[in-house]
Structure 1
């Protein structure tokens, strides 16, 4: 699968993975800032953005997609940052292909099972017929009865693309995302599977995606993990508190690299 991507800057690679219903454009502002020191690679995951549609959506498959992408790009080692669903993909890559990952950054996501939290989003998206839309304003008006939050509406409508003829189409593979949603809220990692490198987990102070009770499960797979909380931020930390997130990521990446070999992690931290 030929994943769509954009690249900025030069230096050691930092690969960034977006969340569910997102695309690589969501991270361009921070990408340009980090490109002063790193080669930033923004990737559209399968069934999102301008990457190919596929008939199956699982974390092992998405991790394989990224491993194949890195091989195509002749990248044998990189930092990987993922947000939300992209955070689980990043974790799966680190656990399955640890030799590819120098440092791992996970933004507001734990490796655990999550409950269904997007049924209202799917209802709003499925209620919209892109082919019948006149323009983006028409799309937003039609979505209002199903989705009250204007910010979420605008985020979701970034997935609309002009069709070759009149009307619009979804860039994302909405049918498969909806059908395979249970795979996307499933946990990653198997018992005893660990990543030997450094990992930074960043959570929003107003978000419930990483709870205090999740920390033991995180350390079970990522024994060298650190946790940072961005006060006042919800789930979209990169949009709400970009300066704070940028600083945390830079500080973490500038630390000397450490691997777990010959180290015993403190599981009580």
Structure 2
């Protein structure tokens, strides 16, 4: 891409809006959203977007004639990755048209855009063709630690982050080999995770959180009280060696 092309095209800007509390939106994120002629975000079949809802304060007070366009990315309910890729492909085409017209496109991403963030899928499709920028956001990992008022790591402790989508063996080894562990995307995997915590004798070290920073936030300090059934997508376990710190 030539310099003149870059100067006439818009920028693709991934903006982290944080885990759920609208007040955790950074000033830089707020300003980028309020200046954006085009915003994009993940949405369900009814058009509802968690990221847009979190960023709602950014839209308060915009002038009525603010020329805001929206490109929702409707994600399929199916876990079939091919369908999700098709949704991102379609969105990337729409976003590329706006960028070619010289319009900046701000993609709203829950948490941080590049930490288990959906923005990464657009970035890999459009980076190199257009100027890109990332505004980091507060991740659910750090928001969870703040809610628990509990250090994630201290001194020489090791720290690892895994997903509930990892295999039992991967999660087991992580729990056995690291002092502090955060298990993201725990929803469907919650029964497996509870069993693995018990097997590795880490249940007493674990805390469970869901919908961090939202009105329906839940914190369970005793994971043995959790029912061994699937939970919400926006949930995680924080596992730290509390006894060793005392």
TM-score (norm 2): 0.32
Query: Higher relative contact order at CA 8 Å, sep ≥6: structure 1 or structure 2?
Result: 2
- Rg larger for: 2
